[in-house]
Amino acid sequence: MKSTLILGMIAAATFAAGCGDKGGNNTEPNNHGDGHGHTHEGTRYPLGTKTIGGYDVELTQVKELAPGKEAMYEVKASGGKHKLEDLTIRVWLGDTAGNAPFGKTKANFNSHPEHRDFDAHITPPANMLEKLTGDVKVWVEVQDKDGTNPAAFDATVHKGDDHGHERGEGHGEEGRDIHSGEHHMLGPVTIGSYQVTIDQIGEVEAGHEMAMEVKLAKAAKGARLWFGDDTGKVIGSATRAPDGATQHVHIMVPKDIQANSKLWVEMTEEDGSKNKGSFTPVMHKE
């Protein structure tokens, strides 16, 4: 009986040593994973270091930020009065005022001795650039026993171009080549302080994606484009172009577009004010 008990204790000890605890305390290198079996693969964009609530906070973005695509943020904090384990860090995408239209994400603490940082996975909705029409900011909020303090960083946002779109090289939906059509120059039209010309590629066809370029005499923040009626009422949804003097954009033509619809463009001035103007697009004829 005594020998049986000893053998049982040895077997139990061997099983415990081989399995580890249920918390998965793995001390092997994990290629800077997030402590949950994920690895941080993709191009890294350092967004800078700021002092938040007495802590020096360094933020790194992994992958470009794009609507509907996951991006990952690594947060390294140092200094301050409290242990990292006692901090709560939240990350969100917002405007310059700190509004969080998509909610806030609580970052996970990575206790691996080689890293000891926080990370947050954020997947913005497909209409991100409609909700955030100005500069997109990554907000980091540090909460400790003494209070809560936020700060904003500039996000690295994917700029649309005519090279390597998600649906294929220069193709829209259903593999259609939306860059091979005839070019139609619309304008110029003066919108606020900007003289705007539209290079429409192909004809406007209901229910299909098309490409066009907003050409400006000076660089500007991304314009917003949509199809609408004479009053500017949106038909379908608006699309935000990337920043610059030549802004390439793909826009989905609504299925219920009318033959007399206008292409509307909204420009944002340096002081944040907005102005809009309309163009008469070249429509597809049955």
67 falls within a domain: yes
Among candidate residues 127, 154, 181, the one where a domain is terminated: 154
pLDDT of residue 279: 96
- Between 46 and 222, the higher pLDDT residue: 46
111 falls within a domain: yes
285 falls within a domain: no
Average pLDDT, the chain: 78
Among candidate residues 119, 154, 189, the one where a domain is terminated: 154
Question: Closest Cα to residue 73, out of 100, 38, 46, 112?
Answer: 46
Q: pLDDT-derived band of residue 6, with 50, 70 and 90 as boundaries?
A: very low
- Of all residues in the chain, the percent with pLDDT exceeding 90 is 33
Q: pLDDT-derived band of residue 139, with 50, 70 and 90 as boundaries?
A: very high
Q: What is the CATH number of the domain that holds 52?
A: 2.60.40.2480
195 falls within a domain: yes
Q: Judge contact between 226 and 235, C-beta under 8 A.
A: yes
- Give yes or no: residues 247 and 219 share one domain: yes
20 falls within a domain: no
At 87-137, the pLDDT tens digits run 999 999 998 888 899 999 999 998 877 668 899 999 888 888 777 767 788
Q: Judge contact between 144 and 161, C-beta under 8 A.
A: no
Residue 41 has pLDDT above 80, yes or no: no
Q: Judge contact between 77 and 121, C-beta under 8 A.
A: no
- Give yes or no: residues 144 and 238 share one domain: no
Query: What's the burial of 255, exposed, middle or buried (CB within 10 Å: 0-12/13-18/19+)?
Result: exposed
- Give yes or no: residues 52 and 150 share one domain: yes
Q: Which domain holds residue 122?
A: 35-154
Please state the rounded mean pLDDT for residues 262-270.
92
- Of all residues in the chain, the percent with pLDDT exceeding 70 is 77
- Give yes or no: residues 127 and 75 share one domain: yes
Q: What is the pTM of this model?
A: 0.46
- Give yes or no: residues 145 and 195 share one domain: no
pLDDT of residue 5: 41
d(CA 37, CA 42): 16
In order of 111, 120, 189, the CA distances from 26 in angstroms are 10, 20, 62
- Give yes or no: residues 177 and 271 share one domain: yes
pLDDT of residue 63: 83
- Give yes or no: residues 73 and 150 share one domain: yes
12 falls within a domain: no
- Give yes or no: residues 97 and 184 share one domain: no
Q: Judge contact between 138 and 61, C-beta under 8 A.
A: yes
264 falls within a domain: yes
Among candidate residues 154, 181, 197, the one where a domain is terminated: 154
- Give yes or no: residues 231 and 265 share one domain: yes
- Give yes or no: residues 146 and 47 share one domain: yes
Q: Judge contact between 207 and 253, C-beta under 8 A.
A: yes
Please state the rounded mean pLDDT for residues 27-38.
36
- Between 214 and 42, the higher pLDDT residue: 214
Q: What is the CATH number of the domain that holds 222?
A: 2.60.40.1930
pLDDT of residue 120: 93
User: How many domains does the structure of the chain reveal?
Assistant: 2
Q: pLDDT-derived band of residue 179, with 50, 70 and 90 as boundaries?
A: confident
Q: Judge contact between 91 and 75, C-beta under 8 A.
A: yes
d(CA 110, CA 156): 24
Residue 138 has pLDDT above 90, yes or no: yes
Residue 235 has pLDDT above 70, yes or no: yes
Q: Judge contact between 278 and 262, C-beta under 8 A.
A: yes
Query: What's the burial of 141, exposed, middle or buried (CB within 10 Å: 0-12/13-18/19+)?
Result: buried
- Give yes or no: residues 137 and 214 share one domain: no
- Give yes or no: residues 185 and 114 share one domain: no
93 falls within a domain: yes
